[in-house]
Structures are given as C-alpha cells and as structure tokens.
C-alpha cells in the first residue's frame, strides 16, 4: 500500500522542515520597525544578526544563528546613506549564502539607483550593475515596490516581484479623507500625468497637470554617438 502526499501538503511540509528566518538590516529605525511588523504578522521571531560599521566605515555582518537549509528573508529599506545601505544588503546576502541557506529573498521596498536605468551620454546603467551585484552575492528572489521602470526586472536573472502601492494609497484616501470627493488629483509634471490619471479614474476625481520649465527629454540628450546639431 502506497501513500501519496498531495503537492500542496508536500510544499507545506518542506517549508516547515526547513523553516524561515527573518533578518533586518541596520540602515535606519524604519527598517527595524517594518521588520518587527512583518515578524508579528507572520508569527515568527526576528533572526539574530549583528550589523555595524568599523571605525574606517567598513560594514561588518555577523549572523548569530544557523541558517543552513532555511529560507532567509532580508528586509532592507533605503536610508540617506544609499551606498552603505547597499553594502549592508550585499554582505548580509553573501553571509547567508556561505552559511548554506536554502534560499535568500531580499525585501527592498524602494530599489536604489532605479532612476539610473537608461544610458545617458557617456554614463552607465547603474541599476543593471546593482542587479548583477545582488545576484552574484547570492540573492535568489527579490520583492520590491513600484520600480521606476518595469524593464528593470529584466536586469535580474532571478524572480522579481514588483508590487504596487496604489491599492493601499487608494484605500487610505477613501477611508481616511472624509471629503476626498471634492479633491483634485494633481500631476506635478506632464511626465507623471499618466499615473495621476490612473488614480483620478479609480477615485472618479478630476485631474490637474502642472507645467513647469521644459526639461530635455532623455531622447534629446547627446550620448556621444552622433555629432551635435
């Protein structure tokens, strides 16, 4: 007599057997606050990790519990010191990789350098470089929100979940602003008019667009491949 385990139960058993660990980086207080709320919602304890800066500003990470064979979630929000934030994440990911973690999922609400996702003049596509660094460090999955351009997902060779904040913003407006139907959705520039229109349509409100100084479009910038006019 053979007993076949249903696929959904088998997946649950694998997760239970390996377990998950939730780590928070040390970028700022908001990162710790977000991590604690997520841990409370999941009903798990925060993983033990020590992240600090050496006197010469080098970042040092010490994982203080076993992550072997476990699913590791690393939560990192971006502070004003963006480069330190990135190094904290990369070192934490690499530390978990060398400690034989089963999978390493990065939870980054705002993806840094996302605005540098296109070639300008003789610059570089920095978001592509950052994506390569994260994958090389050992990241196996990325969860982020509202990427500056959807095409950034193609810079990764790992799964990327690009979540949207608009449903929560719409809910907040409807529940927390009593007289919101007398409001107007304002786009700060013509470039953001499409997003503002999406909010206005779902809330059934009017829309206004602010026209300021004309800025050069990305297509008009000289990239060195063509002679100037």
Evaluate whether 76 touches 107 at the Cβ level (below 8 Å).
yes
* Co-location of 125 and 194 in the same domain: no
Domain-embedded: residue 179: yes
Query: Is the confidence at residue 4, as pLDDT, over 50?
Result: no
* Co-location of 176 and 91 in the same domain: no
* Co-location of 157 and 188 in the same domain: no
- Per residue in 104-122, pLDDT tens? 999 999 999 888 888 878 7
Domain-embedded: residue 41: yes
Please identify, among 131, 146, 163, the residue that sits at the C-terminal boundary of a domain: 163
* Co-location of 158 and 173 in the same domain: no
Query: Is the confidence at residue 50, as pLDDT, over 90?
Result: no
- Per residue in 88-104, pLDDT tens? 999 999 999 999 999 99
Specify the CATH number for the domain of residue 89.
3.40.50.2020
Q: What is the pLDDT of residue 38?
A: 92
* Co-location of 103 and 39 in the same domain: yes
Domain-embedded: residue 106: yes
Q: What is the pLDDT of residue 227?
A: 42
Tokens of 197: 């229109």
Q: What is the mean predicted confidence (pLDDT) over 137-165?
A: 90
Q: What is the mean predicted confidence (pLDDT) over 53-66?
A: 89
Domain-embedded: residue 31: yes
Query: Considering the chain, what is the average pLDDT of its residues?
Result: 82
- Going across the sheet that includes 160-163, the strands are 20-24, 71-75, 103-108, 141-145, 160-163
Domain-embedded: residue 214: no
Q: What is the mean predicted confidence (pLDDT) over 8-35?
A: 68
- Per residue in 167-184, pLDDT tens? 888 999 999 988 888 989
pTM over 0.85: no
Please identify, among 142, 163, 184, the residue that sits at the C-terminal boundary of a domain: 163
Residue 50 bridge partners (DSSP): 62
> What would you report as the CA-atom Rg of the chain, rounded to the nearest whole angstrom?
22
* Co-location of 89 and 177 in the same domain: no
Q: What is the pLDDT of residue 103?
A: 94
* Co-location of 44 and 143 in the same domain: yes
* Co-location of 85 and 126 in the same domain: yes
Distance between CA atoms of residues 70 and 161, nearest Å: 20
Domain-embedded: residue 57: yes
Q: What is the pLDDT of residue 74?
A: 94
* Co-location of 144 and 88 in the same domain: yes
Locate all alpha helices (DSSP H) within 43-146, ordered by sequence. 82-98, 126-137
Confidence of residue 214 (pLDDT cuts 50, 70, 90): low
Q: What is the pLDDT of residue 142?
A: 94
* Co-location of 100 and 36 in the same domain: yes
Domain-embedded: residue 84: yes
Question: Structural domain of residue 27, as residue ranges?
Answer: 20-163
Query: Is the confidence at residue 212, as pLDDT, over 80?
Result: no
Looking at the structure of the chain, the number of domains it has is: 2
Domain-embedded: residue 11: no
Q: Which residue has the higher pLDDT, 184 or 3?
A: 184
* Co-location of 48 and 92 in the same domain: yes
Locate all alpha helices (DSSP H) within 67-149, ordered by sequence. 82-98, 126-137
Four-point Cα dihedral 149, 155, 157, 163, nearest 10: -20
Q: Which residue has the higher pLDDT, 129 or 8?
A: 129
């Amino acid at each position: 007599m053979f007993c076949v385990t249903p696929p959904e139960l088998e997946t649950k058993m694998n997760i239970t057997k390996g377990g998950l660990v939730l780590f928070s980086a040390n970028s700022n207080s908001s990162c710790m606050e977000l991590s604690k709320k997520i841990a409370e919602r999941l009903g798990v304890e925060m993983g033990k990790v020590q992240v600090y800066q050496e006197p010469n500003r080098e970042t040092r990470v010490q994982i203080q519990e076993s992550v072997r064979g476990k699913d590791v979630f690393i939560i990192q929000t971006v502070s004003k010191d963006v480069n330190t934030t990135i190094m904290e994440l990369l070192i934490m990911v690499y530390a978990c990789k060398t400690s034989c973690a089963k999978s390493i999922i990065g939870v980054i609400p705002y993806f840094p350098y996302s605005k540098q996702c296109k070639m300008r003049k003789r610059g570089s596509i920095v978001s592509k470089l950052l994506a390569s660094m994260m994958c090389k460090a050992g990241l196996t999955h990325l969860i982020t929100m509202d990427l500056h351009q959807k095409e950034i997902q193609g810079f990764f060779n790992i799964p990327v979940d690009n979540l949207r904040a608009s449903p929560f913003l719409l809910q907040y407006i409807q529940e927390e602003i009593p007289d919101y139907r007398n409001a107007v959705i304002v786009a700060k520039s013509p470039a953001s008019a499409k997003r503002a229109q999406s909010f206005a349509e779902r809330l059934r409100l009017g829309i206004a667009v602010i026209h300021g100084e004309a800025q050069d479009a990305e297509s008009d910038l000289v990239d060195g491949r063509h002679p100037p006019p």
